[in-house]
Amino acid sequence: MGVAIDSIDVAGGGVSIRASPLSVSASCPTCGDTSERVHSRYERTVADAAIGNRPSRLVLRVRRFLCSSTACDRRTFAEQIDGVTTRYARRTAWSKTYPAAARRLAQYRDPRDAPRELRPEVRGDSRGVQTVWKMVQFSAIAKPMDW
């Protein structure tokens, strides 16, 4: 289902994007049952594609769910966000496809003009998204970097 951007901070030579998942449930990786019962929450940090030659990281507020199946050996599991995270990954899937996507995004002057599937969902103040958008448009494309 994706993520909603909570905040974007441009400081210290890098870009930090805080986001939360939009889904209300997740599927157990062992048995496949869907659960809405949240066990706990934690922050997961993954390296993302560089933006304007600045390293970026995605800080996700993810949840651990309780498996609803009594037959399943797994008690809890962490949610994975399709197209963004995979188990044990330190980089986003986006960081691998960034150059092509950045070229597609850079053709739009405003994020509202982009097709819906390319537009980030924003919570609160949208100035941070505008800043990142300008950095994508007017900067050279760089490789993903670690923090």
pLDDT average, residue stretch 138-145:
42
Q: Between the CA of residue 63 and those of 17, 41, 60, 121, what are the distances in Å?
A: 18, 4, 9, 19
Which residues make beta-bridge pairs with 56?
Answer: 15, 48
pLDDT tens-place string over residues 42-97: 999 988 877 767 788 889 999 999 999 999 999 999 998 887 788 888 877 666 65
pLDDT above 90: percentage of residues in the chain? 29
pLDDT tens-place string over residues 15-49: 888 999 989 999 999 999 999 999 999 999 988 87
**Cα 8 from Cα 112, distance rounded (Å):** 17
pLDDT average, residue stretch 136-142:
46
Which residues make beta-bridge pairs with 45?
Answer: 59
pTM to 2 decimal places: 0.62
In this predicted model, which residue has the larger pLDDT, 44 or 133?
44
- Cβ proximity of 129 and 7 under 8 Å: no
pLDDT average, residue stretch 6-20:
87
Provide the pLDDT for residue 98.
Answer: 56
**Cα 33 from Cα 15, distance rounded (Å):** 36
**Cα 125 from Cα 127, distance rounded (Å):** 6
Domains of the chain, by residue range, sit at 3-22+43-62+80-138
- CB proximity list for 40: less than 8 A, separation 6 or greater: 63, 64, 76
Q: How confident is the model at residue 101 (pLDDT cuts 50, 70, 90)?
A: low
**Cα 118 from Cα 129, distance rounded (Å):** 13
pLDDT tens-place string over residues 108-130: 666 667 776 665 554 444 555 55
